[in-house]
């Protein structure tokens, strides 16, 4: 076991009931809570948790520099409630009621979380009982607003694998077959001078010079020039990502940018380059007013397609509406039309179908350019999903980590702004669940192709939990330059260290590798489902299964098979040495099955 | 009866067939008394489509005089037919498939359409295909069905102490829709039963349909009592129900109608068990839709599923408006209530609505699946269907004459059995290991209940089946499904028996559209099916090895 804190590895965020030893209950309350290395107790207190499902529950709360932990004091285990919430998941802490408020449990704290739930605690209305807890919560949930370090910088966790090495851009390009005759690797951005939100290593057309890149950068929003994300091994078609061109109201042109896009087209000799603008047409036009815009007719040999995906504000409001209908109580009477009115699934559909168009274009041999406004939200969704459809490597457990590291983290999806790690400013207009939406799209794909992904739902849930938790450095900061400046790789642990030290629990037993297979999910509303086990997982009335029973059963059968194979092998080995009659009778039986099933039985065939 | 009089054109060459999930193909169309046969002798070997005419729910024809016929093939060199007329026949099947035939020649097209229209809805049961179907590996001497009420009774030893097998209905005179043998309390004699039957609609007096071994409690089912406007009572009926609870303090009556509906039912001679005469029985009302409402719900749902327009914004609203999922919810929650009465509360229960041939069967079947692990194996489930639907007299012929696409005026059609299969699928989805059969079984049953080679779902009850000799002249689907080679396909490879009751979650977000059935032909999501198949094969292969 590589992890020093195995008990928390898989379940730290699950509110499931872990019954503590009785003695511990009587003694110091919550003394038995296992903390992470580097995690310190800040305060604890008797408190009432106003559970939206079971009503008021008396218990004790423990605040550390990492988590809020609550356990009910009722000795009856059947009604026991445990909460274990990383402070990073908290977006807002408010005082509820005043010292003179009337009514039972009207004085306390209201906590809004980023992960689809809210918590409410009540305290006794005497002697400023909540002051201490409120101030500590406020302080440690929003460390950056209090000049405190994020917990990722405090934790002392150690893992056998250092997750930071999972993604190496040069190696990943080499895997794709780059550099080649048409594409070169450029280090011109090594000190983030070309573009401060891009990674240092970029793949660009061979025929473009460093000066070209600089001139193109001047015409692209925030210098996010078109660079290669992925290349199709057979037909050499590429996925290129960038930000919008700075066309503006006056309709400016930039010859270098036009020529640069034509270089991309030329690289695999297709007559037309397709530019996917993720935005709705009207939004793209509106962006001209602020200096942005889209590629017009001056881009010869290029066609522009709008994908109608809404912006971060629309997505934020959509998920908020979804939260309203699922937490705390699920809107039952008109469930489907309520769900429809959130438009969440419709947005998921548009993102998925946009990615399908990109993948399909590339598959048919045409290079594509994908952008939105800044090229760090919708663009990241589209390129990464298209790559997931096209390249089976990204559907492995490690490959998926590479995909996230590459298209999201290194290309500057603004995790810090979108999630607001450690920031008290909950109403910030920059917040948006773009990454959650991406993971939702991945989940939809895994539902449609149950054998195509090496990882399981548990991995997706773990990723989303630690998107907020601030326990790992993986999702901190907006871009590589900021990560470098804050020495994330030196001073924090990578989420992939946790994952890769316990890979077995994230593996999909149904996985059957099929390299080269392109997945086209059905992006029709009829085939999309609400991800109930994520969005409604706090509701105890939803049947919660720690692990899919089908998955578990299948694992058992696999184990059983291995066991029998082993026995069989032993039997045959002993038979071959003694050549008893028994051996002769058992041998013919095994032959047909070992010939009818390929690779798994190769080791069985040897003794025969 | 000569089918040939309905077939003016038996063969047409050069027909183009378009069907879901496959490219169009050109070939020969052939109409026989029971089948539509299309064979395509393309380069890649011949392909055949054999469709039972009975499976056709509706056809639409459009005949046009066209100059250029079939533009689709014009590139392939077939477009030389310049003049002449042609027509298109669109076939909507009861399994929700939609086929389109482009037929050259207006007259031929009309002939074909006419033949299909007539032959697809023959009224005479004994002319139907099951009476002609003679598979080589099956003999009519193999018997019919899985088990009889007599066998069921003799197997349940614990039951025999307080319950007896009555043959009061041996000639179907007491209740035409009941089987000849029924299980009733020992304490009640046949004369009492006869009198009680007169007091129940259609003679469906309360009989035992399930014995819960864990606590000896039972589920009974019947039709409504004929109390009428002046609150008639029937001592024998009261006696019969009193004998059911036999010393226990109470029983539950689950009435699948609202309390308002039962009051109204009195005006037309029906009614309910009043508290004052059945004082040990507690009535619970759960209104369930039936008949026309259910059929219309299915029509709306199928319409929404088949809507190919790109505007899918309103899909969820359409799904909700069809109310199908809320029928699923009501059925599962009422069944849950029934199971709760018996399993958790430890009391016997009686289920009925009006006729006791639809919702009552739905509820009692689901409750048994929830409570009884024996019903969850492939054999057990099929036997359950045989007891609760075939022997218990669900009028399949009336309910399943047409499905969702028919233009015919609706008569007695109602997709109660399909609703059952959907509910079972929901159970299967929520408890993927607890049921011993696969989704493929449910799909097969959903298809065969509307159109089948087998005689199982013919007629409305046992009496009719006997009269027509169904059991002697047709083969039994339930037996066919259990044949060694066939059976594997319908087993759940991950099945892990559990003794526990499986309580379904009936929250709307726990219920899903049964895509495997309703969207089977509309989208390319077939890879899901293929993947399931793959998993199944792998596991079966490994299990074989493990058992060795």
Among A332, A450, A554, select the one facing B508 at the smallest CB separation: A332
pLDDT at B314 over 90: no
Q: How much is the average pLDDT of B327-349? A: 96
- Which helix or strand (DSSP H or E) is residue B332 part of? helix B324-339
* Residue B454 confidence (pLDDT) above 80: yes
Interior angle at CA A474, CA A473 and CA A479, nearest 5: 100
| Residue B303 to chain A, least CA–CA distance (Å) | 13
Burial (CB < 10 A; 0-12, 13-18, 19+), residue A327, is middle
Partner-chain contact A526 B522, CB within 8 Å: yes
- Rounded to the nearest integer, the mean pLDDT of chain A is 87
A598 touches chain B (CB under 8 A): no
How close, in Å, is residue B117 to chain A by CA atoms?
32
pLDDT of A187 > 60? The answer is: yes
pLDDT of residue A22: 44
Residue of A nearest to B544 (CA): A593
Residue A241 corresponds to which tokens in the numbers above? Answer: 């990502």
For chain B, list residues whose CB is within 8 angstroms of any CB belonging to chain A. 305, 312-317, 319-320, 325, 430-433, 494, 496, 505, 507-510, 512-513, 515, 519, 522-525, 527-528, 531, 534-535, 539, 541-546, 548
pLDDT at A2: 38
CB within 8 Å: A335 and B508:
yes
Chain A contact probe: residue of B316, B318, B493 with most A CBs at under 10 A: B316
pLDDT of the residue at B67 = 47
Q: Enumerate residues 481 to 540 of chain A having a beta carbon within 8 A of any beta carbon in chain B.
A: 510, 512, 520, 522, 524-527, 529-530, 532, 536
In this prediction, residue B512 carries a pLDDT of 92
* Contact check, Cβ <8 Å, A527/B515: yes
Query: At residue B72, does pLDDT exceed 80?
Result: no
pLDDT digits (tens, 9 = 90+) for B264-276: 999 999 999 999 9
Q: CB–CB of A593 and B545 under 8 A?
A: yes
Interface of A with B in 433-492 (CB under 8 A): 448-451
Q: What is the pLDDT of residue B69?
A: 45
Cβ within 8 Å, pair A525-B534: no
The mean pLDDT value for B4-28 works out to: 87
Of B319, B519, B531, the CB nearest to A451: B531
Q: Is the pLDDT of residue A395 over 50?
A: yes
HSE value, Cβ hemisphere, 13 Å, CA-based, for A380: 28
Question: What would the mean pLDDT of B84-99 be, rounded to a whole number?
Answer: 88
Top pLDDT among B408 and A421 is at: A421
- DSSP single-letter state for residue B175: -
CA angle centred on B93, ends B92 and B96, rounded to 5°: 95
C-alpha–C-alpha distance, residues B245 and B348, integer Å = 7
- In this complex, do B528 and A561 lie within 8 Å of one another by their Cβ atoms? no
CB-closest option in A510, A541, A557 to B542: A557
pLDDT at B527: 59
A541 has a chain B CB within 8 A of its CB:
yes
H or E segment and range at residue B486: helix B484-490
What's the confidence (pLDDT) of residue B233?
92
* Alpha-carbon gap: B229 to the closest alpha carbon of chain A (Å): 36
Encode B393-442 in three state secondary structure.
Answer: CCCHHHHCCCCCCCCCCCCCCCCHHHHHHHHHHHHHHHCCCCCCECHHHH
- Chain B residue numbers with beta carbons less than 8 Å from the beta carbon of A536 are 509
Min mean pLDDT across A533-547, B50-64, B294-308 is at A533-547
Q: Do B320 and A337 touch (CB under 8 A)?
A: yes
Asked whether the beta carbons of residue B432 and residue A550 sit closer than 8 angstroms, the reply is yes
d(CA B17, CA B38): 8
User: Per-residue confidence at A590, pLDDT binned at 50, 70, 90?
Assistant: very low
Residue of chain A minimizing CA distance to B319: A336
Mean pLDDT, chain B, whole residue set: 88
Mean pLDDT lowest among A124-133, A488-497, A501-510? A124-133
Beta partners for residue A46, in sequence order:
A60
- Rounded to a whole number of angstroms, the distance between the first and last alpha carbons of chain B is 54
Cα A371 from chain centroid (whole Å): 21
Mutate to test the interface with A, among B542, B543, B544, B548 (most CBs of A within 10 A): B542
Task: Tell me A33's DSSP state.
Answer: P
Lowest mean pLDDT segment, chosen from A141-145, B310-314, B367-371, B497-501: B310-314
What pLDDT shows up at residue A15?
40
Mark yes or no for CB contact A337/B316 under 8 Å. yes
- Candidates A541, A535, A327; CA nearest to B506 is A541
Using an 8 Å Cβ cutoff, are B210 and B349 in contact? no
CA dist., res. A342 & res. A327, Å (int): 14
CA gap A371, A358 in Å, rounded? 12
Question: Could you tell me which residues come within 8 angstroms of residue A505 by beta carbon, excluding any fewer than 6 positions away?
Answer: A10, A458
Share of chain A above pLDDT 70, in %: 88
- pLDDT level of residue A578 (50, 70, 90 thresholds): low
**Picking from A28-32, A158-162, A483-487, B171-175, which range would have the lowest pLDDT averaged per residue?**
A28-32
Whether A561 and B545 lie within 8 Å, measured CB to CB: yes
Q: What is the pTM of this model?
A: 0.88
Could A536 and B509 be called an inter-chain contact, meaning their C-beta atoms sit closer than 8 Å? yes
Q: What's the pLDDT score for residue A595?
A: 31
Given the residues A113, A242, A372, A470, select the one marked as catalytic.
A372
Based on the residue annotation, tell me whether A372 is a catalytic residue of this protein. Answer: yes
Contact partners, residue A461, CB within 8 Å, separation at least 6: A533, A534, A537
pLDDT greater than 60 at residue A226: yes
Q: What is the pLDDT of residue A438?
A: 98
Q: Between B483 and B83, whose confidence is greater?
A: B483
Mutate to test the interface with B, among A325, A330, A335, A447 (most CBs of B within 10 A): A335
User: What is the residue-wise DSSP string for B493-517?
Assistant: TT----SS------SGGG----HHH
Beta carbons within 8 Å of A388's beta carbon, 6+ residues apart: A355, A394, A395, A400, A403, A442, A445, A519
pLDDT bucket at A106, cuts 50 / 70 / 90 = confident
ipTM field: 0.86
For the record, the structure tokens of A392 come out as 């089976």
Query: Does B144 or A355 have the greater pLDDT score?
Result: A355
- Residues 6 or more apart whose CB falls under 8 angstroms from that of A577 comprise none
Which of A499, A481, A467, A462 is CA-nearest to residue A152?
A: A467
Instruction: Answer yes or no: do A543 and B544 touch at CB < 8 A.
Output: no
Strand-strand pairing, A273-277 and A302-306: parallel
Distance between B418 CA and the closest CA of chain A, angstroms: 20
Q: Which pLDDT band holds residue A546 (cuts at 50, 70, 90)? A: low
User: pLDDT at position A143, please?
Assistant: 97
Statement: residue A582 has pLDDT above 60: no
Instruction: Tell me the percentage of chain A whose pLDDT exceeds 90.
Output: 71
pLDDT number for residue A547: 62
Token representation of residue A457: 């739902």
Contacts of A326 in chain B (CB under 8 A): 509
* Closest by Cβ to B315, choosing from A520, A526, A554: A526
Distance CA A56, CA A70 (A): 13
B9-38 as b/e, with b when 16 or more CB fall inside 10 Å?
beebebbbbbbeeeeebbbbbbbbbbbbeb
The predicted structure's pLDDT at residue A352: 97
Q: Is the pLDDT assigned to residue A232 strictly greater than 60?
A: yes
**Interface list for A 570-589 with B (CB within 8 A):** 589
Range with the poorest average pLDDT among A213-227, A549-563, B516-530: B516-530
Determine the pLDDT at residue A603.
Answer: 30
Which tokens hold the place of A265?
Answer: 């087209």
pLDDT computed for residue A554 by the predictor: 76
Q: What percent of chain B has pLDDT over 90?
A: 63
Residue with tokens 């390249």: A391
- The string of pLDDT tens digits covering residues A52-79 is 988 899 999 999 999 999 999 877 767 7
B312:A450 CB<8 A: no
Confidence of residue A383 (pLDDT cuts 50, 70, 90): very high
What three-state secondary structure class fits A13? coil
Of A266-270, B80-84, B532-536, which range is least confident? B80-84
**Could you tell me which residue, A364 or B4, shows the higher pLDDT?**
A364
Q: How confident is the model at residue A584 (pLDDT cuts 50, 70, 90)?
A: very low
End-to-end CA distance of chain A: 37
Q: What is the mean pLDDT of residues B442-454?
A: 95
Residue with tokens 């290079």: A367
Backbone Cα Rg of chain A: 27
* Smallest Cα distance from A506 to chain B, Å: 19
């Amino acid at each position: 076991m590589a992890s020093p804190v195995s008990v928390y590895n898989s379940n730290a965020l699950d509110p499931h009931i872990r019954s503590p030893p009785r003695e511990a209950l009587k003694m110091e309350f919550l003394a038995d809570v296992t903390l992470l290395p580097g995690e310190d107790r800040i305060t604890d207190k008797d408190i009432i948790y106003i559970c939206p499902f079971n009503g008021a529950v008396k218990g004790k709360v423990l605040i550390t520099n990492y988590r809020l932990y609550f356990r009910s004091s009722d000795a009856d285990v059947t009604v026991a409630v445990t909460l274990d919430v990383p402070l990073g998941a908290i977006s807002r802490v408010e005082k509820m009621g005043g010292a003179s408020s009337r009514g039972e449990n009207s004085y306390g704290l209201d906590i809004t979380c980023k992960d689809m739930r809210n918590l409410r605690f009540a305290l006794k209305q005497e002697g400023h009982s909540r002051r201490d807890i409120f101030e500590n919560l406020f302080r440690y949930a929003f460390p950056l607003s209090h000049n405190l370090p994020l917990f990722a910088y405090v934790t002392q966790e150690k893992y056998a694998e250092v997750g930071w090495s999972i993604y190496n851009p040069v190696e990943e390009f080499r895997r794709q077959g780059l550099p080649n005759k048409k594409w070169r690797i450029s280090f011109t951005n090594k000190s983030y001078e070309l573009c401060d939100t891009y990674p240092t290593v970029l793949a660009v057309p061979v025929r473009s010079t460093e000066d070209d890149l600089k001139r193109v950068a001047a015409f692209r929003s925030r210098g996010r020039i078109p660079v290669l994300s992925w290349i199709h091994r057979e037909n050499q078609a590429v996925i290129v990502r960038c930000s919008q061109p700075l066309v503006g109201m006056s309709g400016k042109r930039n010859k270098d940018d036009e020529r640069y896009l034509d270089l991309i087209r030329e690289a695999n000799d297709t007559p037309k380059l397709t530019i996917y603008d993720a935005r709705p047409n009207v939004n793209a036009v509106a962006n001209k007013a602020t200096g942005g815009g889209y590629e017009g007719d001056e881009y010869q040999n290029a066609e522009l397609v709008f994908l109608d995906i809404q912006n971060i504000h629309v997505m934020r409001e959509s998920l908020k509406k979804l939260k309203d209908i699922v937490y705390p109580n699920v809107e039952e009477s008109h469930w489907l039309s309520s769900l429809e009115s959130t438009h969440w699934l419709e947005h998921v559909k548009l993102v998925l179908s946009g990615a399908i168009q990109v993948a399909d274009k590339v598959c048919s041999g045409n290079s594509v350019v994908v952008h939105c406004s800044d090229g760090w939200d919708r663009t990241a969704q589209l390129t990464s999903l298209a790559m997931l459809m096209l390249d089976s490597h990204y559907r492995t457990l490690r490959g998926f980590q590479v995909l996230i590291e590459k298209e999201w983290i290194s290309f500057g999806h603004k995790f810090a702004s979108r999630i607001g790690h450690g920031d008290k400013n909950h109403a910030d207009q920059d917040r948006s669940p773009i990454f959650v939406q991406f993971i939702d799209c991945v989940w939809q794909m895994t539902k449609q192709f149950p054998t195509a992904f090496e990882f399981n739902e548990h991995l997706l849930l773990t990723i989303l939990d630690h998107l907020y938790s601030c326990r790992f450095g993986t999702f901190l900061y907006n871009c590589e330059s900021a990560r470098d400046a804050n020495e994330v790789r030196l001073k924090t642990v990578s989420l992939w260290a946790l994952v890769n030290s316990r890979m077995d629990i994230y593996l999909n037993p149904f996985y059957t590798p099929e390299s080269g297979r392109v997945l086209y999910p059905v992006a029709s509303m009829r085939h999309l489902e609400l991800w109930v086990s994520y969005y409604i997982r706090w509701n105890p009335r939803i049947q919660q299964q720690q692990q899919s029973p089908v998955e578990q059963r299948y694992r058992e059968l696999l184990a059983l098979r291995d066991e029998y194979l082993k026995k069989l092998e032993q039997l045959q080995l002993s038979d071959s040495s003694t050549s008893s009659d028994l051996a002769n009778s058992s041998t013919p039986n095994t032959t047909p099955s070992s010939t009818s099933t390929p690779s798994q039985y190769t080791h069985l065939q040897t003794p025969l | 009866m000569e089918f040939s009089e309905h077939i003016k054109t038996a063969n047409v060459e050069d027909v183009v067939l378009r069907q879901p999930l496959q490219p169009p193909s050109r070939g020969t169309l052939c109409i026989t008394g029971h089948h539509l046969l299309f064979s395509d002798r393309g380069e890649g070997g011949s392909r055949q489509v054999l469709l039972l005419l009975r499976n056709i729910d509706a056809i639409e024809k459009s005949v046009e005089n066209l100059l250029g016929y079939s533009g689709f093939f014009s590139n392939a060199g077939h477009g030389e037919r310049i003049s002449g007329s042609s027509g298109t026949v669109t076939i909507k099947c009861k399994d929700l498939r939609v086929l389109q035939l482009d037929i050259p020649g207006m007259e031929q097209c009309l002939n074909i359409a006419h033949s299909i229209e007539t032959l697809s809805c023959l009224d005479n049961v004994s002319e139907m295909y099951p009476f002609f179907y003679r598979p080589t590996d099956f003999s009519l001497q193999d018997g019919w069905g899985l088990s009889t009420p007599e066998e069921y009774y003799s197997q349940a030893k614990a039951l025999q102490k307080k319950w007896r097998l009555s043959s009061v209905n041996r000639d179907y005179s007491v209740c035409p829709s009941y089987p000849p043998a029924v299980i009733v309390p020992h304490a009640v004699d046949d004369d009492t039963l006869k009198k009680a039957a007169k007091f129940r609609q259609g003679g469906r007096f309360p009989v035992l349909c399930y014995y819960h071994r864990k606590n000896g409690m039972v589920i009974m089912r019947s039709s409504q009592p004929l109390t009428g406007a002046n609150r008639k009572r029937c001592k024998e009926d009261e006696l019969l129900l009193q004998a059911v609870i036999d010393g226990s303090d109470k029983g539950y009556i689950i009435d699948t109608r609202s309390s308002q509906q039962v009051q109204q039912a009195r005006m037309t001679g029906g009614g309910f068990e009043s508290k004052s005469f059945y004082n040990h029985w507690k009535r619970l009302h759960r209104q369930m839709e039936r008949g026309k409402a259910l059929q219309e719900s299915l029509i709306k749902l199928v319409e929404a599923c088949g809507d190919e327009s790109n505007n899918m914004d309103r899909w969820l609203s359409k799904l909700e408006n069809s109310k199908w999922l809320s029928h699923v919810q009501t059925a599962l929650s009422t069944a849950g209530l029934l199971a709760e009465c018996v399993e958790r509360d430890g009391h016997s229960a009686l289920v009925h609505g009006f006729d006791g041939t639809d919702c009552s069967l739905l509820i009692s079947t689901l409750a048994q699946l929830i409570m009884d692990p024996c019903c969850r194996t492939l054999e057990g489930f099929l036997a359950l269907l045989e007891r609760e639907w075939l022997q218990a007299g669900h009028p399949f012929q009336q309910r399943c004459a047409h499905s969702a696409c028919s233009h015919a005026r609706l008569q007695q059609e109602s997709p109660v059995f399909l609703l059952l299969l959907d509910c079972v699928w929901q159970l299967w989805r929520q408890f993927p290991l607890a049921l011993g059969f696969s989704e493929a079984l449910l799909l097969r049953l959903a298809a065969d209940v509307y159109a089948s080679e087998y005689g199982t779902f013919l007629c409305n009850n046992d009496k009719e089946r006997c009269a027509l000799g169904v059991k002697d002249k047709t083969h039994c689907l339930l037996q066919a499904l259990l044949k060694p080679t066939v059976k594997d396909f319908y087993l759940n490879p991950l099945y892990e028996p559990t003794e526990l009751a499986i309580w379904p979650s009936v929250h709307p977000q726990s219920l899903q559209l049964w895509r495997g059935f309703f969207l089977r032909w509309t989208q390319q999501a077939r890879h899901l099916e293929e993947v399931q198949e793959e998993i199944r094969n792998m596991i079966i292969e490994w299990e074989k090895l493990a058992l060795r």
